[in-house]
């Protein structure tokens, strides 16, 4: 994987996909975007626009709704909602070669969570996110490098992304090796102006992001509150704190070390400002909610360790009810 001649595929042209496409293409890399509908039309006509802390970026990329026309890629970023993967991965086969690296940039518990884990659960499937083994069957997991993305961005229009916070991406092999390909991916992302780290404990970082999503997204759908409200208003913070402690116990049961203590976690959340969660934005637009990966999968893992999560369970149920009502 030679960084100077990489073919980089991005599947999904939402806020994160457009941010990566703009940064990579803007630094001279060949970027091929798999998109559809009005977003595809906009990319072909106007390119991709990104406004972030480093200014405005405008790039032209190859875009198509046909994976075969884009051809085999060296590196593919999966930038869709978790629930879209079951239909997306089988379509991606023409883009995946023998040495293609696939990086899921998704929220929640990933379907590959137990792959290469090495413990008693090694190879176990997370039913909430891959109930029919569709994802396991569609992609040989040797292609996968894990990723945790801390990029807060939104799309005010098709193929236009805006972000007012620093970008951070953390990468790790599922089997925790510090491999040469892992370092190449980290160096590539760092070279385009995104802070990038490689770790030999990717699940620790995954749980930090999982808990951030779990403590904010469902409750935001129920209340309509922004992050600063969720993590600072006493009437909401108590619920968030209960959910946080339940999730930390589950993470610890699976051997994860979350480096942020609960009080600091709440302070950091409040410091994010008046940000509307991605799940709240989906709810307001009548879109499906990412509750399977963000919520149900965590409950499944907790059940596997006989850990009760009563507050979290109720929050997920209420958010699901709200989401279903909004779509009917």
> Would you call 209 a catalytic residue per the annotation?
yes
CA distance 100 to 57: 27
Count other Cβ atoms within 10 Å, centred on residue 234. 6
What 3-state class would DSSP assign to 55? Answer: strand
- Rounded Cα gap, residues 89 and 254, in angstroms: 28
Region of 6 (left: φ > 0; alpha: ψ -120 to 50; beta: rest) is beta
Cα-based angle 56, 105, 251 (whole degrees, multiple of 5)? 130
The whole-angstrom separation of Cα 175 and Cα 184 is 17
Alpha carbon distances (Å) from 121 to 117, 254, 304, 325: 7, 9, 10, 37
Exposed, middle or buried, 262 (CB in 10 Å: 0-12/13-18/19+)?
A: middle
| CB 29 within 8 Å of CB 48 | no
Q: Which of 58, 154, 197, 209 is catalytic?
A: 209
Describe the crossing of helices 234-253 and 297-304 by its angle, rounded to 10 degrees: 50
How far the first Cα of the chain sits from its last, in Å, is 47
DSSP-assigned letter for residue 276: P
The CA-CA-CA angle for residues 295, 296, 297, to 5°, reads 95
At residue 16's C-alpha, the angle toward residues 12 and 17, to 5°, is 35
- Return d(Cα 203, Cα 257) in angstroms, integer: 8
Instruction: Return the active site residues.
Output: 209
């Amino acid at each position: 994987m030679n960084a100077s001649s990489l073919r980089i595929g991005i599947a999904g042209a939402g806020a994160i996909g457009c941010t990566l496409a703009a940064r990579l293409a803007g630094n001279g890399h060949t970027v091929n975007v798999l998109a559809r509908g009005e977003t595809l039309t906009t990319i072909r006509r106007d390119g991709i626009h990104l406004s972030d802390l480093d200014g405005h970026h405008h790039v032209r990329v190859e875009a198509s709704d046909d994976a075969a026309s884009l051809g085999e890629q060296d590196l593919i970023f999966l930038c869709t909602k978790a629930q879209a993967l079951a239909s997306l991965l089988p379509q991606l086969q023409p883009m995946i070669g023998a040495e293609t690296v696939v990086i899921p940039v998704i929220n929640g518990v990933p379907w590959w969570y137990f792959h290469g884990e090495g413990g008693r659960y090694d190879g176990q499937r997370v039913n909430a996110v891959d109930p029919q083994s569709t994802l396991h069957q569609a992609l040989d997991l040797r292609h996968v490098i894990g990723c945790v993305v801390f990029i807060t961005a939104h799309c005010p229009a098709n193929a236009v992304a805006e972000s007012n916070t620093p970008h951070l991406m953390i990468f790790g092999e599922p089997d925790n090796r510090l491999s040469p390909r892992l370092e190449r991916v980290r160096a590539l992302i760092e070279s385009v102006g995104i802070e990038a780290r490689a770790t030999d404990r990717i699940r620790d970082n995954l749980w930090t992001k999982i808990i951030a999503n779990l403590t904010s997204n469902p409750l935001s759908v129920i209340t309509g509150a922004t992050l600063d409200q969720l993590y600072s208003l006493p009437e909401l913070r108590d619920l968030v704190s209960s959910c946080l402690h339940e999730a930390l116990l589950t993470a610890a049961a699976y051997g994860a070390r979350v480096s942020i203590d609960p009080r600091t976690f709440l302070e950091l959340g409040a410091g994010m400002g008046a940000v509307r969660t991605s799940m709240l934005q989906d709810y307001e637009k009548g879109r499906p909610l990412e509750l399977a990966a963000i919520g149900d999968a965590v409950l499944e893992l907790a059940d596997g360790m006989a850990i009760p999560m009563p507050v979290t369970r109720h929050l997920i149920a209420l958010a699901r009810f709200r989401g279903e009502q909004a779509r009917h």
